[in-house]
Structure 1
Amino acid sequence: MSHPLYRAANPKLWTGRIDSEESSPALRWHQQMQCLDLSQPLSANLDRQVTLLGFASDAGVKRNKGRPGAAAGPDALRAALANSACADHPLYDAGDIICEGDRLESAQLGLAEHLAKLIEAQANPVVLGGGHEVAWASFQGLIPKLQQSNARLGIINFDAHLDLRRPNPAGSSGTPFRQIAEWCDANGHPFNYWVLGVNPSANTDALFQYAREKDVQWIEDDAFESEPLSALAEACNAFLTTVDSLYITVCLDVFNAAFAPGVSAPAALGISPSRMLWVFKHLIKQAKAVNKPVWLLDIAELNPAYDPHGQTARLGARIIWEYQRAQSQ
C-alpha cells in the first residue's frame, strides 16, 4: 500500500531538447528517464542505475526559523537535469514524498520506507531535497542495509553548518546529524561524520563542543578554499581508511551566495563549486578504487523562490550529473 504522503513520478516533468546526430547517440536525461510508482511492486532489478527520489519538505527549515521554499526543490532539480547529456543507459525517477504542513516525522518515515525499497531493488538512489532534515530521513532509509551488512558507514557532508543541534522539542533542518549520532549510540554503531566547508561564524561553541565529544571531523570554509588540493585529497583518502561505505550529502548553502543564492541561509563566504566538485569527484573515484561503495547521495536546501535565474538548481544538477558519470565509469 502506498504511503499517504507519496506521489508517483510524473513523466510530464521530463521534457526538453532532442538532438539529431548522425555519428553517435545524442541523448539527454529526459529521453532516458523511466518513471516509477513505488506504490506498486518493482518489476525489475534497477541494476545500480541512478534513481531519483524527491523529499518535498519545508517543515524542518520552518522549525529552524529559515526561509521556506525548499519543498519546491525536487522539481526544480528535475527541470535543471532534464536537458543534461546522457549516455545510452536507463535513469529512473521514483517520485516524491510530500511533507504536508508540519507532518515532518511522518514524511521522514515515508522517505525512509521508500528509499529502503529502492536499495533492496539494487538502485543507486539520489534523494532530492527539501531542507536538510532530509538527512535524518535518508539515514533511516539506510538502516536496514547498515544492519544487514554491519558496515562502518562514513557520512560526508558538504555544508556550512554542522547540523548537530539538539532536537528541542523536535527535529528540524538543524538537527539531523545529532539524531543520527544518537541512533548510532543507541544501536552500537560508530558515528563517522566529516563536514567540509563549515562556516565557523554560523555554528555556536556548544555545537563545536558536541562535535569534539563525538569525534566529528571538519574543515572550515576558508581552509577548504586555501589548502592545496593534494592536502584535501590526502584528507579524503585518510577518511576512507576508517569506513567501509559512504553516504554523501550536499547542502547547497555551503557555496558562496554568488553561486548559490537559492538556499535558506545564503553564505557570504562559502566555498567555490569548482573546488567542491574536484574533491567530490576525487572522493567517488578513490572510494571505487578501494571498494568503498557510495550507498546514497542527497542534495539539500535548494529554495527556488530565491533562485530567479535557476543557477542554484543548475549547480545542484551538475553535482548529480557528475555523480552519475563517476558512478558509471
Structure 2
Amino acid sequence: MVDRNAPLWDGRVDGTEAAHLRWHQHIELGANGPLDGSVALLGFASDAGVARNKGRIGAAEGPLALRKALAPMAIHEQRKLVDLGDIVVVGDELEQGQARLAMAVEAALSGGSLPIILGGGHETAYGTGSGIYHFYDQDPEIKVGILNLDAHFDLRQEDRRSSGTPFLNLAENLQNSGRGFYYAVLGISEPNNTKVLFNAADSLGVKYLLDEDCDEQRAQKFVADFLESIDVLYLTIDLDVLPASVAPGVSAPAGLGVPMQIITQVCRQVAASGKLKVADIVELNPKYDVDSRTARSAARLIYTLATTGSTITN
C-alpha cells in the first residue's frame, strides 16, 4: 500500500546542479506559470468505474503510487514538469468526475502542455477523450485517433459508464456530433473479450492487434499505419496489457500480456511522431502490487513519453 503520510514528491538528493537532478527536485506543483512546452501530470483518483465493472477495487490509489515511482527518476532534459494535482471521484460520482477531468484536460491542452493523466480505472479514458475532443471542437476536420494499449476493447454496452465502457461511450458521442471515430487497440486478449465485443469492434471499424501477435515488427507497423491515418493522437495505456509478472498490481491481471520492451517501444514511437497530444495510464492497483513492480513499470512508460523526441507540438 502507498503511505499517504509521506511527502508527495520526495527522494534521494545527489546534488542541486542540473546534472544531479531527479523528478522530485525539478517538478513544479500547481499551474503557477505558463504551461507551454511542459509535461503536465494530472491525477484522476477513481474506483467508481472499476466497481461498476466488478473489478478489483484500489485504482483510486494509483495517482499517488505513480508519483512515488516517478519521484526518483533522473532528469536528462530540462523539460518543464508540472503537477496539476488530483481530481478525486467521491463514491459513485463518476460522471461528475469525468466532466471535471475533461475540462482540466482541455485547459492543459489550451495552455500548450502535454497532459499525462494518472488513473484511476479505465473510466479515466472517457474524461481524457472528452477533453481532447472538446479541444478540437472548432476544427472538426482534424482526425483525433485513440491508440489503446490494452488486453480489452472496453466497448461494453451498459446502462451506466464504467471502466469497461469508455470507448463505446466516446464513439456514441462522436456519432451524435458527426465526427469520425478512429480507434485502435494493441494487445487484445482473445480469451478475455467475448464475441459480442469483437463484433462491436468490427462494427465500429476498430483496428486491433492480438497480444500473441505483438512482436516488435508487427507492433511497430500496426502503430505506424494507425499514426498515418490520423492527425493527432490520444494514447491510453491500461497496465493489464503487460504480463502479470511485470504488472501484478492491476484491476484485471493478464494471462499472457505484451512484453514490456514492446510497450516501451510503442510509447517511444508515438512520442517521436509529433502527433501525441495527450496520454493517460490507468488501472494501477497498489493494493495488489508486488515490490511496487507495477508502479515502477508504469513510471518507466511515463518517463519514455515525457522525454522522447518532440512530444509537444503546436
TM category (shorter chain) comes to over 0.9
Q: What letter corresponds to residue 12 of structure 2 in structure 1?
A: R
Distance 1:223 1:169 in 2: 33
Q: For the aligned residues, what is the CA RMSD?
A: 1.7
Report the alpha carbon displacement of residue 232 of structure 1 after superposing the two structures with TM: 2.7
Report the alpha carbon displacement of residue 89 of structure 1 after superposing the two structures with TM: 3.6
Structure 1 residues 47 and 189, CA gap change in structure 2 (3 angstroms): same
1:326 aligns with 2:312: no
1:296 aligns with 2:278: yes
Distance 2:245 2:117 in 1: 25
Question: CA contact under 8 A between 2:219 and 2:262: conserved in structure 1?
Answer: no
1:200 aligns with 2:195: no
1:53 aligns with 2:45: no
Report the alpha carbon displacement of residue 44 of structure 1 after superposing the two structures with TM: 3.4
Unaligned runs of 5+ in 2: none
Question: CA contact under 8 A between 2:133 and 2:144: conserved in structure 1?
Answer: no
Q: What residue number does 1:145 align with?
A: 135
1:77 aligns with 2:32: no
Match of 1:90 among 54, 76, 80: 80
Question: C-alpha deviations, 1:92-130, integer Å up to 9, x for none?
Answer: 000001010000001111111122121111111000000
Structure 1 residues 11 and 89, CA gap change in structure 2 (3 angstroms): farther
Match of 1:232 among 204, 212, 219: 219
Q: What letter corresponds to residue 102 of structure 2 in structure 1?
A: A
Question: CA contact under 8 A between 1:251 and 1:300: conserved in structure 2?
Answer: yes
Q: What letter corresponds to residue 146 of structure 2 in structure 1?
A: I
Larger displacement relative to structure 2 (80-89 or 27-36): 80-89
Match of 1:210 among 200, 216, 223: 200
Structure 1 residues 127 and 327, CA gap change in structure 2 (3 angstroms): farther
Q: What residue number does 1:275 align with?
A: 262
1:14 aligns with 2:9: yes
1:243 aligns with 2:233: no
Partner of 1:241, secondary structure, is helix
Distance 1:11 1:139 in 2: 32
Structure 1 residues 239 and 306, CA gap change in structure 2 (3 angstroms): same
Distance 2:309 2:38 in 1: 9
Distance 2:223 2:246 in 1: 24
Question: CA contact under 8 A between 1:32 and 1:89: conserved in structure 2?
Answer: no
Q: What residue number does 1:155 align with?
A: 146
Question: CA contact under 8 A between 1:11 and 1:35: conserved in structure 2?
Answer: no
Structure 1 residues 15 and 21, CA gap change in structure 2 (3 angstroms): closer
Fraction of identical pairs, as percent: 43
1:258 aligns with 2:245: yes
Distance 1:189 1:120 in 2: 21
Report the alpha carbon displacement of residue 21 of structure 1 after superposing the two structures with TM: 8.4
Structure 1 residues 117 and 279, CA gap change in structure 2 (3 angstroms): closer
Question: CA contact under 8 A between 1:116 and 1:141: conserved in structure 2?
Answer: yes
Unaligned runs of 5+ in 1: 1-9, 37-41
Larger displacement relative to structure 2 (234-243 or 71-80): 234-243
Match of 1:28 among 22, 46, 57: 22
Partner of 1:92, secondary structure, is strand
Distance 1:328 1:216 in 2: 27
Question: C-alpha deviations, 1:192-249, integer Å up to 9, x for none?
Answer: 100000001111101100110111010011011xx4x333322222212211000000
Distance 1:320 1:109 in 2: 24
Question: C-alpha deviations, 1:259-290, integer Å up to 9, x for none?
Answer: 000001001211110111112212322x22xx
Report the alpha carbon displacement of residue 328 of structure 1 after superposing the two structures with TM: 5.1
Structure 1 residues 327 and 149, CA gap change in structure 2 (3 angstroms): farther
Question: C-alpha deviations, 1:156-195, integer Å up to 9, x for none?
Answer: 00000000001x2201000000001101111111111000
Question: CA contact under 8 A between 1:45 and 1:123: conserved in structure 2?
Answer: no
Partner of 2:14, secondary structure, is coil
Structure 1 residues 175 and 26, CA gap change in structure 2 (3 angstroms): same
Partner of 1:12, secondary structure, is coil
Q: Which consecutive segments of 4 or more residues in structure 1 shift more than 3 A?
A: none
Aligned residues: 305
Question: CA contact under 8 A between 1:44 and 1:121: conserved in structure 2?
Answer: no
Report the alpha carbon displacement of residue 153 of structure 1 after superposing the two structures with TM: 0.6
Distance 1:158 1:294 in 2: 14
Distance 1:58 1:327 in 2: 33
